[in-house]
Structure 1
């Protein structure tokens, strides 16, 4: 499977605390464990021409993994629309953490995608609410993270096709932390954990979820629908 991991790659360059956790960038950390899982991986970042997401790159991408936070507005409308169309055409999309506010995710959801948040080094417990789903394969009843950023309801998204994880935070909030959607021929998995100052993407259980999510989101050669005026299949009586 061909996977492209996209990241703004700004925090790591401008914040020493983030660079200490992800010295080569969040994208390289994610790409490394996806490569270990057997996928052909490449990376793309915001400051590359066309944000690294040219027509050619997207055409060769089975699943796109997206991490963004600091400068959503710097993603061009042209590229965001390009990615959206590729999802509608069948490319899988895994949306991580604060990419809930990315142009691509908001375009595909059709809602504001807002939420509550707090940075207070809180414990997060991600409960598996669909243990039969392929994305939860190999996991126990929950994943516990010692420190994470809190996201709280209400999360302004459409009702998910499937709810996979619900998070509880030490401060009392809960959040729909793992959800799937289908748009056109494409499948989307939103997965909440991954604040840049915490080593979340070094956690093997989190890595397992993303690996499973990438595998799930890949298109299984679903037929391309035909629209518009059509000739009848059977002979008409008139």
Structure 2
């Protein structure tokens, strides 16, 4: 299973508080626990040529994990369009935290993907609302995070195909924090937690959800359909 973790890798270079939490970058933290789960993982970042997302790399990628925040507009439109097309062709996509505002996610959703937010060191409780889903395997009724950034409704996304988690925050807001979508032959999982100044990606339950989400998003060799004008299967001669 070939996984690529994409990260802006800006906060870790510019903010000592973030570097302390993720000294090798958020991408390497994510890659480490995915590798421990037996996945073949590569990491690429925004400032590499083509943002690291070459045609060759994307063609061999089963699932792309995306973390972005402060530099969404620096992602070139043609690269975002190329990633979108790979999802339509069957590549899985796991979008984390502020990746909701990435060009790739917005293109695939077709909406503004906006929301309310607040940084106030609030407790977050992520309730499992679909306990039968493979993404929740190994998780209890809820995940509790001592401190996280608040995201609040309304979340401007299409109605999810499946709603997996709903968050409650100490300040009173709720949020659809885990949702899946199908686009073309590709599967998408959006998972909310992961503000850069908090050690969220060191939490064992959060790691488990992301590992489950990556495995769920991998295409299981489903049929490829042919479109356009088509010759009949049966003999139409009368």
TM class, shorter-length: over 0.9
| 2:94 matched residue in structure 1 | 94
Q: Deviations over 1:124-179 (max 9, x none)?
A: 00000000000000000000000000000000000000000000000000000000
Structure 2 SS opposite 1:176: strand
SS in 2 for 1:178: strand
Name the counterpart of 1:22. 22
Instruction: Give distance in 2, aligned partners of 1:57 and 1:236.
Output: 44
Which structure 2 residues correspond to residues 48-59 of structure 1 after superposition, within 5 A?
48-59=48-59
How far apart, in 1, do the equivalents of 2:83 and 2:145 lie? 31
Runs of 5+ unmatched residues, structure 2: none
Provide the rounded CA distance (Å) in 2 between the counterparts of 1:34 and 1:8. Answer: 19
TM-score by length of 1: 0.99
Q: CA deviation at 1:60?
A: 1.0
1:164 aligns with 2:164: yes
- Between Structure 1 and Structure 2, how many residues are aligned? 238
SS at structure 2 position matched to 1:108: helix
Partner of 2:113: 113
Tell me what 2:222 maps to: 222
Mapped partners of 2:56, 2:131: distance in 1:
37
User: Which sections of structure 1, spanning at least 5 residues, go unmatched?
Assistant: none
CA distance in 1, matches of 2:123, 2:107: 31
Give the superposition deviation at 1:24.
0.3
C-alpha displacement of 1:81: 0.5
Write the distance in 2 (CA, Å) between the matches of 1:139 and 1:165: 11
Residue aligning to 2:146: 146
1:178-197 map, 5 Å: 178-197=178-197
Q: Which deviations, in whole Å up to 9, do the C-alpha atoms of 1:101-126 show, x marking residues without a partner? A: 00000000000000000000000000
Partners of 2:12 and 2:130 lie apart in 1 by 34
Q: CA deviation at 1:231?
A: 1.1
- Deviation at 1:237? 5.0
Length-normalised TM-score, structure 2: 0.99
Q: Quote the residue 1:10 is aligned against.
A: 10
1:234 Cα deviation from its structure 2 partner: 1.4
Distance in structure 1 (CA, Å) of the matches to 2:232 and 2:186: 29
Task: Note the C-alpha offset of 1:235.
Answer: 1.9
RMSD (Å) for aligned C-alpha atoms: 0.6
